[in-house]
């Protein structure tokens, strides 16, 4: 076992200076996570002053899930480690696989308590990495998929670490038996209807008998793929992948392979799962051939790419709904518009909307284009302000009576501005992140 390498990975990720952080151990009650828990409990002195804390996610998908949580509580008590039990609804949505639903619910629960600098430690090992590589290759994934699971990645305000990633499953089994560990067995792990279980139970034993070093070899392949993908990510960043929007001219100036790499990198930077090769090619074609009078739109799961004025924009899919009617806003407190953004007002002299127009206490009515009136005049004003078409109905419009005072994010209208030396309210608009 490469225990030293796993411990070094954790130490490197811990912050230097500042207050202690929490190392949160994902503990299912199964053998692998029990090995991780037991091993880390023995490293408390080496990891001090940082805290160890176990987290068990109860999915509620098996009749014995409550008993498993009780088992985890007993093991943690014996080791002197605190345990948090998080219960989730892991039932799959329509069209979603049971595996994907459980994974999404589990990681959401594990992320819920993370604080800045905290580490989430999971028990993924070398054989898990082998399975992940093979599943990716069978799907036809590129380098990012073949790179499989990184040993460390960002996770909320902290980090997710896999300190056992170079431990073969056989080593974990030997450790568990040597320390007389007791664990629970989830019967679903033997259900060969699930792809990963089929690989683990039917395919990999055959491969291992003929190629005993296959698991280690595929893990090395993942490391090589990760290194190569890192170089492609650097190239994409140099080509502009970190920008909020992409210029079509910038994309068109590149060879086709770099165009695809830039699009993949841009989507990845902004948290969009990699699209299929066919979907990516559709996006590339639309970007390069869209006429100036067109507004191409390509949905990608929970996001969409929209092309406007020669640039690619990412938006949520679908766009969050705006309030159904006007919203009264008293300017002495911020106004949160869920999925839309946040409005704040700062009092000053000779700045913003003239206080004399707003009454006492100062109030405005926030409307959206659907109920603001104004017709073509307002439409032309928003066009002149270069507001993207899909945002025009979502941009807050500040009214007092029938008078439009200001469009959020823009200067107040001339007739509404505070004169020099006169009190006014400067409006600060923060659009919601996509």
Strand 83-87, strand 119-121: pairing: unpaired
Q: Which domain holds residue 47?
A: 3-221
Give tens-digit pLDDT for 15-41: 888 899 999 999 999 999 999 999 999
Computed over every residue of the chain, the mean pLDDT equals 90
Same domain? 267 vs 366: no
Burial of 255 (0-12, 13-18, 19+ CB in 10 A): exposed
Same domain? 164 vs 115: yes
pLDDT, average across residues 157-175: 94
- Single out the residue in 288, 316, 344 at which a domain terminates: 316
Q: Is 334 left (phi over 0), alpha (psi -120 to 50) or beta?
A: beta
Give tens-digit pLDDT for 359-377: 999 999 999 875 555 556 7
Same domain? 295 vs 359: no
382 lies in a domain? Answer: yes
Give tens-digit pLDDT for 44-56: 999 999 999 999 9
Same domain? 133 vs 277: no
Distance CA 25, CA 161 (A): 10
Number of domains in the chain: 3
**Contact (CB, 8 A) for 83 and 27:** yes
239 lies in a domain? Answer: no
Same domain? 34 vs 57: yes
29 lies in a domain? Answer: yes
Same domain? 368 vs 296: no
| Structure token digits, residue 40 | 């880390």
Distance CA 65, CA 57 (A): 10
Same domain? 144 vs 203: yes
Strand 119-121, strand 22-26: pairing: parallel
32 is in an annotated binding site: yes
Given this model, what pLDDT does residue 207 score? Answer: 93
Respond yes or no on whether the N-terminal peptide bond of residue 49 is cis (omega within 30° of 0).
Answer: yes
251 lies in a domain? Answer: yes
162 is in an annotated binding site: no
281 strand-pairing partners: none
Give yes or no for residue 1 having a pLDDT over 50: no
pLDDT band at 285 (very low <50, low <70, confident <90, very high): very high
- Single out the residue in 188, 221, 254 at which a domain terminates: 221
Same domain? 155 vs 46: yes
Give tens-digit pLDDT for 185-198: 888 888 888 888 99
Max mean pLDDT range (9-23, 104-118, 254-268, 312-326) = 254-268
What contacts 24+ positions apart, CB below 8 Å, involve 277-281? 277/140
95 lies in a domain? Answer: yes
- Single out the residue in 316, 337, 364 at which a domain terminates: 316
Give tens-digit pLDDT for 209-241: 999 999 999 999 999 999 999 999 999 999 999
Same domain? 137 vs 91: yes
Residue 75 to residues 173, 185, 361, 391, Cα–Cα distance (Å): 18, 15, 59, 53
29 is in an annotated binding site: yes
381 lies in a domain? Answer: yes
364 lies in a domain? Answer: yes
Give tens-digit pLDDT for 384-427: 777 888 888 888 999 999 899 999 988 999 999 999 999 999 99
28 is in an annotated binding site: yes
Give the percent of the chain with pLDDT over 90.
69
289 lies in a domain? Answer: yes
**Contact (CB, 8 A) for 85 and 73:** yes
Same domain? 22 vs 171: yes
- pTM for this one? 0.78
For residue 213, the domain's CATH number is 3.40.50.620
**Contact (CB, 8 A) for 41 and 81:** yes
For residue 265, the domain's CATH number is 1.20.59
pLDDT band at 3 (very low <50, low <70, confident <90, very high): low
Same domain? 249 vs 357: no
Same domain? 112 vs 191: yes
Give yes or no for residue 99 having a pLDDT over 90: no
**Contact (CB, 8 A) for 367 and 421:** no
For residue 390, how many other CB atoms are within 10 A of its CB? 15
| Structure token digits, residue 251 | 């994309």
For residue 384, how many other CB atoms are within 10 A of its CB? 8
Residue 328, helix vs strand vs coil = strand
Distance CA 208, CA 201 (A): 11
Given this model, what pLDDT does residue 394 score? Answer: 86
């Amino acid at each position: 076992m490469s225990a030293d390498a796993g411990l070094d990975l954790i130490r490197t990720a811990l912050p230097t200076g500042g207050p202690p952080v929490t190392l949160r151990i994902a503990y299912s009650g199964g053998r692998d996570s029990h090995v991780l828990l037991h091993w880390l409990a023995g490293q408390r002195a080496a990891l001090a002053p940082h805290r160890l804390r176990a987290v068990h996610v109860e999915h509620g998908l098996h009749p014995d899930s409550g008993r498993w949580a009780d088992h985890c509580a007993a093991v943690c008590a014996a080791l002197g480690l605190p345990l948090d039990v998080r219960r989730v609804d892991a039932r799959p949505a329509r069209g979603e696989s049971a595996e994907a639903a459980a994974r999404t619910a589990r990681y959401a629960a594990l992320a819920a308590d993370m604080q800045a600098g905290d580490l989430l430690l999971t028990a993924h090992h070398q054989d898990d990495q082998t399975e992940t590589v093979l599943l990716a290759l069978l799907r036809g994934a590129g380098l990012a998929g073949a790179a499989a699971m990184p040993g460390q990645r960002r996770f909320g305000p902290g980090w997710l670490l896999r300190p056992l990633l170079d431990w073969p499953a056989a080593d974990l089994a030997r450790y568990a038996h040597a320390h007389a560990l007791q664990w629970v067995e989830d019967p679903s792990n033997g259900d060969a209807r699930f792809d990963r279980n089929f690989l683990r139970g039917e395919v990999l034993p055959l491969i291992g008998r003929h190629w005993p070093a296959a698991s280690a070899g595929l893990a090395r392949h993942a490391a090589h793929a990760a290194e190569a993908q890192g170089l492609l990510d650097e190239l994409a960043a140099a080509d502009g992948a970190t920008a909020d929007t992409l210029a079509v001219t910038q994309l068109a100036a590149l060879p086709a392979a770099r165009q695809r790499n830039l699009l993949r990198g841009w989507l990845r930077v902004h948290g969009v799962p990699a699209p299929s090769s066919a979907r990516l090619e559709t996006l590339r074609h639309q970007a390069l051939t869209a006429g100036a009078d067109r507004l191409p739109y390509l949905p990608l799961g929970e996001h969409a790419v929209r092309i406007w004025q020669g640039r690619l924009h990412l938006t949520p899919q679908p766009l969050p709904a705006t309030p159904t009617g006007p919203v009264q806003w008293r300017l002495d407190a911020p106004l949160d518009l869920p999925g839309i953004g946040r409005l704040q007002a700062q009092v000053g002299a000779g700045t913003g909307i003239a206080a004399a127009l707003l009454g006492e206490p100062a109030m405005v009515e926030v409307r959206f284009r659907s109920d603001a009136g104004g017709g073509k005049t307002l439409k032309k004003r928003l066009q002149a302000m270069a507001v993207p078409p899909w945002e025009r109905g979502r941009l807050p419009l500040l009214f007092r009576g029938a008078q439009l005072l200001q469009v959020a994010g823009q200067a107040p209208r001339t007739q509404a501005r505070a004169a020099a030396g006169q009190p006014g309210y400067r409006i600060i608009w923060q659009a919601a992140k996509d």
